[in-house]
Structure 1
Amino acid sequence: MSGKRRDSKNRILRNGESQRQDGRYAFKYIDATGKQQFVYSWKLEKTDKTPQGKRDDISLREKEKLILKDIDDEIVPRGGEMTVLELVKKYFLQKTGVRHNTEANYKFVVNIIKKEAFGKKRIDKVKLSDAKCWLIKMQRDGRGYSSIHSIRGVIRPAFQMAVDDDLIRKNPFEFQLATVVVNDSVTREAITRKQERAFLEFVAQDKHFCRYYDGIYILFKTGLRISEFVGLTLNDMDMQNRKINVNHQLQRKRNMEYVIENTKTTSGTREIPMSDEVYACFQRIIENRKKVKTEPMIDGKCGFLYLDKNDMPMVALHWEKYFQHICKKYNSIYKVQMPKVTPHVCRHIFCSNMAKSGMNPKTLQYLMGHSDIGVTMNTYTHIGYDDAKEELERMTKVE
């Protein structure tokens, strides 16, 4: 009989393999850092059966294959002992010179991960199913789709950094978010055209809110981001050619500092044609614009369309508050309640209305300032049964 070591089934064991007295198999190896390591399994080969009462696992030789491949590819063992939280923090350290909104979002994500058991998990232990289950858990815990979208928008590139640094082999967050969690904002932020008209009519007739009618109408009918709208100046209004030049946005930091930033993406820099109604709104805004002794200057920009009581440019928060007060007053008067309407909802509705009207998707993408047409079609359009029925009837008539 050969002098080679064998297991209880008389199979020859390879170098580093052994079988313990309880029947469990072990493989001893030296990792990339020079440390001796062990892995175990109740099965030697894939075709072996797991002993009754023992936890099922891949076979020892399957584990050996993965280990030897990692060593050959110089993958750092055990993910460099780095946790998810440590990985995200390391990723943030590389992000210098980012916008203040982006920095605030990073801090938001870190604070969430700190509170999650998932944040203490070693990165090489995070599998695709773990990543999906964690995002599902957060939605079940009450976090909205937009928050989860922001979190994944940070953690996915952080894990990709770990892949690039040879800490792990695959990125567990490379999947479509929509396949895991429900986009509750699509349902929550959708309002009908009838509700849109009712909202605008209410604003026009109310003595307190009517002065904001033109701005609100523009938000509904142009798809402008609120940060783009509040950043508009007289120089951005080409009234002769009836177009809006969008090439920046206005933000106000938490410390109340006003800043001018580039558009959200390069695609956000665009020229938007004015309809006759939008043109009329801008005319009235310019004619009724608040007269001040000294125009506020923000990063070289002046002539902002709307100024607050301190003669500073109105920002997104002002308009969000106006919308909130309008909805509250409307719902205190009418039995049929108005759903939540915000400046961002106006953007949603504009895109949906244009899509339902048959606008070319690429044209709509341009008007919205989206770099990815998938965002235009999947996130901002709300197509239902009635829309499908109407379109089908229209196509039938064409035939």
Structure 2
Amino acid sequence: MAGKSGLRRDSKHRVLRRGESIRANGKYQFKYHIGGKPHFVYSWRLEPTDPLPVGKKPCLSLRELEKQIGYDLDNRLDPLGKNITVNELVERYLKTKVGMRPNTLANYNFVRNILKNEPFGSQKISKIKTSDAKLFLIKMQQEDGRGHSTIKTVRGVLRPAFQMAVGDDVLMKNPFQFELAGVVVNDAVTREAVTKDQMRKFLKFIHDDVVYCKYYEVIYILFHTGMRISEFCGLTMKDIDLEKRTININHQLQRTSKREYVIEPTKTNAGTRVIPMTNEVTEMFRAIIEDRPDYKVEKVVDGYTGFLFRNATCSHALGTQIQSYGQQV
């Protein structure tokens, strides 16, 4: 209501500032503009010291909300963007990622599904402090039993997502900008390279075994070239030059979550390379090529054909068997 001086006052005769008013139900309202468009915030209390009406949920006072809005506008932050949840921020961030490889997309979907089932994902990004971010990752490990690699993957999405919010002038600080090592325990198993003696024993067993002997040339090549199995499975006849004794590695064969085969670039730029072959490796490839039938119909995957083995499926299955056996030994 307005007094004799023309100033609007509340029921306690306190002068209401510009933009402040009281609705019919007794709720305080503050009106402000962004880009010429009006926006509103509401509260049941004008000052922080005002008692909360019976039956109403706890909330910041109108003057506290005004202070937050003024701070955001003074620092050129977007007060509206701060109201989005962690899940909404992640969705917005993932929309900026285009041209992703199938495996990368699968990892993003994995993180998306984890956050959808976590109360953390429903929180407003403006409420997330660095300690909240750390406690969330600790909970994932200690209470949920998530492994270090999973936690690293989740944080690998959350950190750039929150950094995007900083870049968009929504937040002042990224709560995930900390070293992971000081927060969660790295319980990942350290891999140890086999010794030359172990390699010789392994190859001898493969050579003499009635089941695995058919894979001897393949395993010998993998040991002596350092190729990834996905690179080996993607090899075509054109990639092998027995005269120059070279292997051209510029792609790999992968299988998506939908069990579809795709050709992808090498894992890193350094992965695109030409590998020289020793005499022994050359002979192993020669034996494989000589045993390869002349098929009337070749398997084609993303324009690649003439795979070293019968088709992409057989090639990938071979790699899977080698991996499985290697883990057992």
Q: TM-score, normalised by structure 1?
A: 0.60
Structure 2 partner of 1:335: none
In the alignment, the residues of structure 1 paired with residue 102 and residue 321 of structure 2 have an alpha-carbon distance, to the nearest angstrom, of 22
Deviation at 1:233, TM superposition (A): 1.0
Q: Distance in 2 between matches of 1:315 and 1:90?
A: 38
Could you say what secondary structure the match of 1:324 adopts? helix
Asked if 1:206 is matched to 2:205, the reply is: no
Q: Structure 1 residues 200, 133: CA separation in 2 closer, same or farther (over 3 Å shift)?
A: farther
Q: How far apart are the structure 2 equivalents of 1:242 and 1:275?
A: 7
Structure 1 residue 110 displacement after superposition: 0.9
Tell me the equivalent position of 1:323.
323
1:222 corresponding residue in structure 2: 225
Aligned residue number for residue 301 of structure 2? 298
Paired position in structure 2 for 1:271: 274
SS of the aligned residue for 1:297 comes to coil
1:126 to 117, 128, 139: 128
Alignment partners' CA distance in 2, 1:294 and 1:325: 31
Superposed counterparts of 1:143-222, under 5 Å: 143-187=146-190, 189-193=191-195, 194-222=197-225
Structure 2 vs 1, CA of residues 327 and 251 (structure 1 numbering), >3 Å: closer, same or farther?
A: closer
Q: Is the 2:148–2:188 contact (alpha carbons within 8 Å) kept by the matching residues of 1?
A: yes
Equivalent pair of 2:261/2:312 in contact (CA under 8 Å) = no
Say if 1:143 and 1:204 are closer, same or farther in 2 by CA, change over 3 A: farther
Shift of residue 230, structure 1, vs aligned partner? 0.9
CA RMSD of superposed structures (Å): 3.5
* AA at the equivalent of 1:220: F
Q: Which has the higher contact order (CA 8 A, sep 6+)?
A: 1
Give the structure 2 partner of residue 72 of structure 1: 74
* Counterpart Cα distance in 1 of 2:76 and 2:42: 16
CA contact (8 A) 1:31 1:71 kept: no
CA distance in 1, matches of 2:241, 2:171: 53
Over residues 133-191 of structure 1, what are the superposed CA-to-partner deviations in whole Å (9 max), with x where a residue is unaligned?
A: 3223323333233323322222222222212222212222233434434444452x325
> For residues 274 and 265 of structure 2, what CA distance do their matches in structure 1 show?
15
User: Letter of the aligned partner of 2:93 in structure 1?
Assistant: Y
Task: Judge conservation of contact 1:232–1:305 (CA < 8 Å) in 2.
Answer: yes
Q: Is the 8 Å Cα contact of residues 262 and 301 (structure 2) preserved in structure 1? A: yes
Shift of the alpha carbon at 1:111? Answer: 0.9
Q: What is the CA-CA distance between 1:268 and the residue it aligns to?
A: 2.6
In the alignment, structure 1 segments of 5+ residues that lack a partner are: 1-14, 17-27, 43-63, 329-337, 339-399
Q: What letter corresponds to residue 158 of structure 1 in structure 2?
A: A
CA gap of 1:41–1:198, structure 2 versus 1, over 3 A, is farther
- Relative to structure 1, the CA distance from residue 312 to residue 117 in structure 2 (aligned partners, 3 Å threshold; closer, same or farther) is same
Letter in 1 for 2:202: F
Greater fraction of residues in helix: 1
How far the C-alpha of 1:76 sits from its partner, in A, is 1.9
Displacement of 1:208 in angstroms is 0.9
The structure 1 residue matched to 2:245, chosen from 231, 242, 247, is: 242
> Offset at 1:209?
1.0
Alpha-carbon displacement from aligned partner over 1:256-278 (angstroms, at most 9, x marks no partner)? 43222222333332222334443
Does structure 2 conserve the Cα–Cα contact (< 8 Å) formed by 1:250 and 1:315?
no
Q: Give the deviation of 1:235 after TM superposition.
A: 1.0
Identity of aligned residues (%): 49
* Equivalent residues of 1:29, 1:37 under 8 A apart: no
Deviation for aligned residue 1:121: 2.0
Partner Cα distance (2:315, 2:136) in 1: 35
Answer whether contact 1:78 1:124 (CA < 8 A) is retained: no
Query: Which residue of the partner structure matches residue 102 of structure 1?
Result: 104
Q: Report the secondary structure of 2:262's partner residue.
A: strand
**Secondary structure, counterpart of 1:138 in structure 2:** helix
> Following the alignment from structure 2 to structure 1, what is the Cα–Cα distance between the partners of residues 89 and 129?
15
CA contact (8 A) 2:111 2:157 kept: yes
- Select the residue among 80, 83, 90 that pairs with 1:81: 83
1:113 paired to 2:115: yes
The normalised TM-score by structure 2 is 0.71
1:281 corresponds to which residue? Answer: 284
CA distance in 1, matches of 2:228, 2:183: 27
* Residues 191/268 of structure 1: CA separation in 2 closer, same or farther (3 Å cut): closer
- State how far apart, in whole Å, the 1-side matches of 2:112 and 2:95 are: 12
Quickly say closer, same or farther: Cα 1:210–1:139, change in 2 above 3 A. farther
